[in-house]
Structure 1
Amino acid sequence: MTSVTRDSDVHITYEDQQKINRFARCNARHGDIKEELKIKENDLQNLQDAEDEMLIALDSDEKVPFMVGEVFIMKTQDEAQEAISSQREDLQEEISILNSRSSELQDTMTQLKGDLYAKFGNNINLEPEEE
């Protein structure tokens, strides 16, 4: 991902190398956060789907199995809806925090890119590799 060509006359200082390393760390963390966001958003959609199915398929006095850890317990629909609502709020808060961290990392990477491209021009590549 991050590379500097060897055939240029541009001298790489310790500070430049620190910026390159920082960019690489930020980029790696940004990728991890993006993956984590996908998982959280999928979990949020699964909660919504479960709640919708529960409302459509069950009578109001029927108990539903609700997963706690690795075990299912029986809850009333009201208890299950409250638990789903609580989990949804927690996930939305986690997603918000991850989005904020992602934005901060993106801002840092943009600044570092500007600094590094200003000094190294086409001799450095900070763009993600095509997959």
Structure 2
Amino acid sequence: MAAQDPDVHITYDDQQKINKFARCNARHGDIKEELKLKENDLQNLQDAEDDIISALDGEEKVPFMIGEVFMMKTQDEAQEAIGAQREALQEEISTLNTRASELQDTMTQLKADLYGKFGNNINLEPEED
């Protein structure tokens, strides 16, 4: 079997598959990091909304950050703005999850192809930190 041959030759197509796997793997890692940040932002929005509900009466104004500026908003306005931000974040998270899944499927197929040809002569597993 050629997969066990230490002198396995890499064709141009094989190299393209290896390169594609590397690009997909790098992008997948980037997406996972971005997902962590977005999920943290989503949790922060939930915490802010909980704090607004529990700490204030309905007429008291609260500082609300828009970009780099704080604006005073009523509790209802702040909750609406937080709700809109939450929805946008959830859409972004959904899109990122879809993209991560697509990349994972591509990498799984490339792994199968490459391990099928090269066996133990290639390592496509992520390094442990």
TM-score bracket, shorter-length normalisation? over 0.9
Counting only pairs closer than 5 Å after superposition, residues 1-131 of structure 1 correspond to structure 2 as 8-131=6-129
SS of equivalent to 1:125: coil
Distance across 2 between alignment mates of 1:79 and 1:47: 14
TM-score normalised by length of structure 2: 0.95
Q: What percent identity do the matched residue pairs reach?
A: 83
1:57-93 C-alpha deviation (Å, 9 max, x unpaired): 1111100000000010000111000000000000000
TM-score normalised by length of structure 1: 0.94
Q: Per chain length, whose mean CA-contact separation is higher, i.e. which structure has more relative contact order (CA < 8 Å, sep 6+)?
A: 1
Distance across 2 between alignment mates of 1:79 and 1:23: 47
Return structure 1 stretches of 4+ with deviation > 6 angstroms: none
RMSD over aligned CA atoms reads 0.8
Distance across 2 between alignment mates of 1:124 and 1:98: 29
Residues matched between the structures, number: 125
Distance across 2 between alignment mates of 1:26 and 1:62: 49
Distance across 2 between alignment mates of 1:112 and 1:12: 15
1:38-75 C-alpha deviation (Å, 9 max, x unpaired): 00000000000000000001111100000000010000
Q: Counterpart of 1:3? A: none
